[in-house]
Structure 1
């Protein structure tokens, strides 16, 4: 346990899948997500993930789904994937009622520490929906930079949500880990 934050970090197991799906959905989709500032409810309907997608991350080689607990309750998570010299950071979710209190910063710091120490990663990469200006600004304040590199949003694949606008794409953000 991190005594400064009261958080416990551990690798997810199959038994965590349903809890993690509920956490990710609550942070990004539907009216419940509006309790926090990370909601995507204005740009996407439908699901953000599903049990199969979460289980795939849990089981993937060179991948960890980090579970963050406080007082025995799951409050956040993130995916870390080893990709050679860099690591990929994804599936980041903080319980909506706890957003804005420094929990996200603590999770990111642990994720960065872990990929540097465990994998020797020199950079962290992530993709963010490019119209999420407030979220991108939050990452920029934590040392991530916009690359201008984009990939298309998977329109027509409802596993990733149902877009409410036609201009969605993912932008790559990168942070050197020193």
Structure 2
């Protein structure tokens, strides 16, 4: 089902729509500002102490926007882009990533609303039963926030791509990703 309509859905004063290629120049700096550099320190999701360099680039965001089975959910308030997140259909699950809320707006419940909408859309559009994400294991505060939203740690780790600056420049040598999972639908049967 295509959720990008002529009149995007409004929930809680926020307008949600699927991003298009023309949105990439707005999305890249939004994502960067939520994770890297001094601007990210205005919010609580910063990775500035563990990673330098870039979080993403225009090619990476464009790939999310244009790849079949993938979308970048763009969130606007009063005509201004305030947040975004990646959703990717992976069989019975959806992958949630590139979640960014403008740093000055973090901590006021906006993220909670957006993740709930992303989960709702993943179920409605793809019929998935789970949402998956990966989080850097040293991000304990962020993992705790996701746990309060119903995500559980799996203990399944994947290595951080050291040496690939497209993912940032590590400031420490103990980085890894952990898979977090949330059940979105009641069990079958």
Pairwise mapping of residues 85-164 of structure 1 onto structure 2 (< 5 A)?
85-164=92-171
Write out the 4+ residue segments of structure 1 that deviate beyond 2 Å after TM superposition: none
Supply the distance in 2 between the matched residues of 1:150 and 1:16 (Cα, whole angstroms). Answer: 32
Q: CA deviation at 1:18?
A: 1.1
Residue 50 of structure 1 corresponds to which residue in structure 2?
Answer: 57
Cα deviation per residue 1:3-26 (whole Å; 9 max; x = unaligned)?
Answer: 5x2100000001100110000000
- How far apart are residue 158 of structure 1 and its match? 0.3
How do residues 44-83 of structure 1 correspond to structure 2 at under 5 angstroms?
44-83=51-90
User: 2:75 & 2:98 partners in 1: Cα distance?
Assistant: 13
Does the residue aligned with 1:100 lie in a helix, a strand or coil?
coil
When the two structures are superposed, what TM-score results if normalisation uses the length of structure 1? 0.98
Q: Distance in 1 between matches of 2:170 and 2:90?
A: 29
3-state secondary structure, aligned to 2:122: helix
Of residues 20, 23, 26, the one that matches 2:33 is 26
Match of 1:137, SS?
helix
In structure 2, C-alpha distance between the alignment counterparts of 1:54 and 1:141, rounded to whole Å: 28
Quote the Cα distance in structure 2 between the aligned partners of 1:64 and 1:112. 13
Superposition RMSD in Å? 0.7
SS at match of 1:34: helix
* 1:10 aligned to which of 17, 23, 39: 17
Q: Distance in 1 between matches of 2:177 and 2:25?
A: 26
Q: Report the equivalent of 1:170.
A: 177
Deviation of the 1:2 alpha carbon? 2.8
Alpha-carbon separation, structure 2, partners of 1:86 and 1:47: 28
Q: Distance in 1 between matches of 2:123 and 2:66?
A: 21
Give the aligned length. 177
Q: Aligned partners of 1:29, 1:74: CA distance in 2, in Å? A: 18
Is 1:38 aligned with 2:45? yes
Quote the Cα distance in structure 1 between the aligned partners of 2:118 and 2:86: 9
Q: With structure 2 as the length reference, what TM-score do the two structures score? A: 0.92
What SS does structure 2 have at the residue aligned with 1:75? strand
